[in-house]
Amino acid sequence: MSNDHSSPRIQSVVVVGGGSAGLLAALTLKATARWLSVRIIRSTSLGVIGVGEATTPWFRRYLHDTLGIDQNEFYRQVRPLWKLGNRLEWGPADRTHFNYPFGESFIKSRYQSLSKSNAYFMLAEGIGPPSTFSFLMDSNRAPLLRDARGRIGMDTRYAYHIENKVFVEFLERIAVQRGITLDDEEVVEVAQNKQGIASLGLSNGSRVSADLYVDASGFRSRLLGEALSEPFVSFADSLYCDTALTGQWQRDEPIRSYTTSTTMDHGWCWRTEFEGHVNRGYVFSSQFCSEEEARAELKRLDPKITEPLHVIKFSTGRRANFWVNNVAAVGNAAGFVEPLESTGLQTIGETATRLANCLVDSDGCPTESMRRLANEQINRWWEDIRGFLAVHFKFNTRRNTAFWQQCREDTNLADAQPIVGFYKESGPSGLYYQMMPKGAIFGYAGYLALLIGQRVPTRYQSQISKNELCLWKTAIDENRQRVEQALTNEEALQLIHRPDWRWH
Ligand SMILES: Cc1cc2nc3c(=O)[nH]c(=O)nc-3n(C[C@H](O)[C@H](O)[C@H](O)COP(=O)(O)OP(=O)(O)OC[C@H]3O[C@@H](n4cnc5c(N)ncnc54)[C@H](O)[C@@H]3O)c2cc1C
């Protein structure tokens, strides 16, 4: 791989893998470093993983702004549903749930005339964020709000629920339209040289070579893991789950405008929403329960779930570096954490964007220091996600099974340790937000939603007066009433499916 500007410019890229990671990486490179010729080699007989449906608001902006994907086309072909946040059936068992909503930041926000930010009032009252999206979630409404004159406006800070396979088919069509070549072959042999990969042998007997290889081969990590033997940094002491059991059922109940994460005996369950059906997945630790036990528990939770259920085994962790010599990995080939906060697709987009920016800024000749910086940043993100997820496991007091006992006793908080330590001593002070390192995926608001929502003990004693509490409750009630004017999910879907509806 070139380390300086005397080396040849990267002109050609081969992406191994045509799941969402490979396609998004190819589209990002093509959209950003426009001179590149990009070819995807993927094996349809090996197939794609078929899961990965909940996303973050960042991912929505990335699709439409960075990749320039037209929203009208996207809605027509992929039929996503909005996701306003994560409802966590989690924490103390004396209440049903708390929300981690998208939208306005409740640590920075403060109602006029009150001395402290919302986070202090949340702590005093023991409730989740009193934000627009949280109220919309609880009243099962869409982010289409009516103003005082009855006009409808959309609050676009939401994320998507998207079906993986439909999304992959859509991205394939866009890739072809944009001049990306798609080949249906299996990479059966990898030749190496001192630059990293020299060429790939394909199942049809031919060989291909390129200036840069993107490994998007999923859990196989065919180039970075298998060929280059880049070490795997395990997160197993922070995240104990290693298996997912997934299924779905036909919808016969109202649509929810959020992802639901439910505490189970040996892990947790996601629930994602689509117009015609609901997807569920039980993520559990095989150290604590067998597949049969997990299957039985999942069916008790959702008797309507239909066979076949699919089993996916995984290891949580990341490769020591995502970019080594002339190979950069994205998606499950680079690392994986369970989807408790739906970070997979965002991490793919962020990684591909960093890679593309390095190519553009170096005129196609990325330097060693650039590559090091990109690796450091992506590693920080992985570690941030690991710590954030660890907070979910360390403090969930809802069930007392052996799995949850071990989580509470032994979970390694890793990079989340300082934030949790600060909160335990100082409460929900926004000062941490100002001082914490920039560039983390989860801001302090996310941590606070979890720490307050799970009632993690803090030595900070609330000094809020009754009068202020009363003013705060009046203010949030006004917001809640405003939200009750929003459209229900069903009303909103009718509106956006009208032929004259246009996304901008
Ligand atoms: C249980 C579970 C739930 C998840 N939920 C979410 C979620 O809610 N939100 C989210 O953002 N992410 C989620 N993810 C992560 C999500 O699946 C991935 O982020 C995303 O789908 C990317 O997958 P991928 O493209 O890396 O891998 P895959 O979809 O597995 O694609 C791998 C590609 O490589 C090809 N390939 C492999 N080997 C070869 C070879 N030798 N030659 C040629 N081609 C090859 C395959 O054919 C395929 O095209 C979840 C993951 C799991 C396991």
Q: Hey, what are 146's tokens?
A: 């009516």
Mean pLDDT across the chain, nearest whole number?
93
Length of the chain: 504
Show the tokens assigned to 495. Answer: 């509106």
Please calculate the CA angle 473-476-479 and round it to the nearest 5 degrees. 155
Task: State if residue 331 touches ligand 1 by the CB under 6 angstroms criterion.
Answer: yes
pTM of the predicted model over 0.85: yes
pLDDT at position 128 over 90: no
Domain region containing 406:
106-156+387-483
Q: Which atom of ligand 1 is nearest to the CA of 259?
A: 8
In a domain, 417, yes or no: yes
Which element (helix H / strand E) includes 37?
strand 37-42
What span, in angstroms and rounded, lies between the C-alpha atoms of 278 and 301?
A: 13
Q: Give yes or no for residue 46 CB within 6 A of ligand 1.
A: yes
Q: What is the pLDDT of residue 347?
A: 96
- Among 366, 401, 432, the domain-final residue is 366
What the block records as the tokens of 86 is: 């994560």
Residue 287: inside a domain, yes or no? no
Which stretch of 215-219, 494-498, 500-504 has the lowest confidence by average pLDDT?
500-504
- For residue 53, give the ligand 1 atom closest to its CA: 8
Q: What CATH number is attached to the domain comprising 325?
A: 3.50.50.60
The residue nearest atom 13 of ligand 1, judged by CA position, is 52
What is the C-alpha to C-alpha distance for residues 153 and 133, in angstroms, rounded to an integer? 14
99: closest CA among 55, 52, 53, 131?
Answer: 131
* Whether residue 394 is found in the same domain as residue 459: yes
Same domain, 465 and 328: no
Alpha helices for 362-465 (secondary structure H): 368-394, 402-410, 417-426, 431-435, 444-453
Quote the pLDDT of residue 238. 98
| Residue among 46, 223, 319 to mutate when testing ligand 1 (max atoms within 8 A of CB) | 46
Name the nearest CA neighbour of 356 among 88, 41, 31: 31
Total count of domains within the chain = 2
Q: Does residue 332 line the site of ligand 1, with CB under 6 A?
A: yes
Q: Does residue 185 sit within a domain?
A: yes
Distance between Cα 6 and ligand 1 center (Å): 36
Render pLDDT for 327-346 as a digit per residue (tens, 0 to 9).
999 999 999 999 999 999 99
For the chain, the first-to-last Cα distance in angstroms comes to 41
**How far, in Å, is the centroid of ligand 1 from the Cα of 3?**
31
Considering only residues 104 and 417, tell me which one the structure prediction assigns the higher pLDDT: 417
Same domain, residue pair 344 and 453? no
Judgement on whether residues 188 and 142 belong to the same structural domain of the protein: no
Q: Could you report the per-residue pLDDT of 359-384, keeping only the tens digit for each? A: 999 999 999 999 999 999 999 999 99
What percent of the chain clears pLDDT 70, i.e. is strictly above it?
Answer: 96
Residues 222 and 323 in one domain: yes
Same domain, 148 and 217: no
Judgement on whether residues 132 and 200 belong to the same structural domain of the protein:
no
Compute, in angstroms, the gap from residue 151 CA to the centroid of ligand 1: 42
With a 6 Å cutoff on the Cβ, whether 278 touches ligand 1 is: no
pLDDT at 438: 61
187 Cβ inside 6 Å of ligand 1 = yes
Rounded-to-integer distance, Cα 438 and Cα 4, Å: 29
**Do 147 and 176 share a domain, yes or no?**
no
Look at the block and give the residue holding tokens 């997160």. Answer: 235
**107 — pLDDT class (breaks 50, 70, 90):** low
Residue 31, domain member (yes or no): yes
327 and 183: one domain?
Answer: yes
309 assigned to some structural domain: no
CB of 454 within 6 A of ligand 1: the answer is no
Residue 145, both tokens: 């709000």
The Cα–Cα gap between 385 and 388 comes to: 5
Alpha carbon 177 to chain centroid, angstroms: 27
Nearest CA to ligand 1 atom 41: 187
Q: Is residue 7 part of a domain?
A: no
Pocket test for ligand 1, best of 27, 86, 217, 346 (most atoms within 8 A of CB): 217
217 and 343 assigned to the same domain: yes
* Per-residue pLDDT at 176: 98
Best residue for ligand 1 mutational test, from 15, 27, 42 (most atoms within 8 Å of Cβ): 42
Tell me, yes or no, whether 205 and 325 share the same domain.
yes
Residues 444, 471 within the same domain: yes
